[in-house]
Amino acid sequence: MLALFHTIIYQPLYNILIFLYNVVPGKDFGISIILLTILLRTILIPLYKKQIESQQKMQELQPKIKALQEKTKNDKEQQTKQLMELYKEHKTNPFSGCLPLIVQMVFLIAIYRVLISISSNGLKIDASQLYSFVADPGTINQFFIHLVDLTKPSIAIAVLAAAAQYFQTKMLMKNQVQPQKSTDDSKPDIAQMMSKQMIYLGPLMTLFIGIKFPAGLSLYWLAGTIFMLVQQIMIEKKKNG
């Protein structure tokens, strides 16, 4: 499994990043990471578009899901059956949003390994990992716009990445249809509580990772989140226009 990951994920990303570093004016490693992020996100647009649309459909279905759960609360088997029928009727899948998250984590781990590999090698490129058509630049200039060392944690970039994720998550959930309040106020709305918590938990986790790991990882996350924000805005405009 590790060999497969190395061959089809790690090594191609390593080579694309070094290729971009070779062609970027000024040899800016940060710009190379941003360009790599844009390239990956562009390739994965259909996948992420499906994720956004699936999440929006699930949000719109929340009132019906809640009503169905309340109606069949004493018959779990019937509840599961009717939920499946509801998803089928509205052509949605509650698990369809998981695949993009898994893909995102795989690439995040690969980018992290690339950064650690370059950093632990004294900022020198491992020529054995390069394809024949990718030139070896020798020692990498690890600074982004001559200010941020991408091999060390950066609080500034971590904060920006966390803020971007906060706005991206909030935008995704802003059109969530609010379910009618239950007549029994003692019963909390678990789905609504989890949605509100995700607005803050995701950014806090991003901030924590950003202040602990190399800034290149936070820069990759920041660029990807901004790309997602733009994509969501375009989907909303198309939907409302």
Collapsing DSSP to helix, strand or coil, 91 comes out as: coil
pTM of the complete model beyond 0.75: yes
168 lies in a domain?
A: yes
- What pLDDT, on the 0 to 100 scale, is given for residue 159? 95
**Any domain includes 91:** yes
| Residue 81 counted as domain residue | yes
pLDDT at residue 184, as a whole number: 47
Alpha carbons 151 and 76: distance in angstroms, whole number: 51
Distance, CA of 118 to CA of 152 (rounded, Å): 12
Q: Is residue 11 part of a domain?
A: yes
Work out the number of other CB atoms within 10 angstroms of the CB of residue 171: 15
On whether residue 46 sits in a domain, the answer given is yes
Tally of structural domains, the chain = 1
CB neighbours (10 Å) of residue 179? Answer: 15
Residue 183 inside a domain? The answer is no
pLDDT at residue 230, rounded to an integer: 86
pLDDT score for 175: 53
Which stretches of the chain drop beneath a pLDDT of 70? Answer: 94, 96-97, 174-196, 239-241
Q: What token pair was written down for 14?
A: 């390593």
**Per-residue confidence (pLDDT) for residue 185, from 0 to 100:** 47
CA distances from 123 to 10, 72, 126, 141 (A): 17, 60, 9, 8
Provide the pLDDT for residue 81.
83
- Look at residue 9 and tell me if it is in a domain: yes
Torsion angle of alpha carbons 35, 37, 106, 98, nearest 10°?
Answer: -160
Range of the domain at 6: 2-177+188-240
10 Å Cβ neighbour count for 119?
Answer: 17
**Over the stretch 88-147, which tens digit does the pLDDT of each residue have?**
777 777 676 677 778 878 888 898 888 888 888 888 898 899 999 999 998 898 889 888
Q: How far apart are CA 214 and CA 158, in angstroms?
A: 10
Write out 152-220 in H/E/C secondary structure: CCCHHHHHHHHHHHHHHHHHHHCCCCCCCCCCCCCCCCHHHHHHHHHHHHHHHHHHHHHHHCCHHHHHH
Please indicate, yes or no, if residue 145 is contained in any of the structural domains: yes
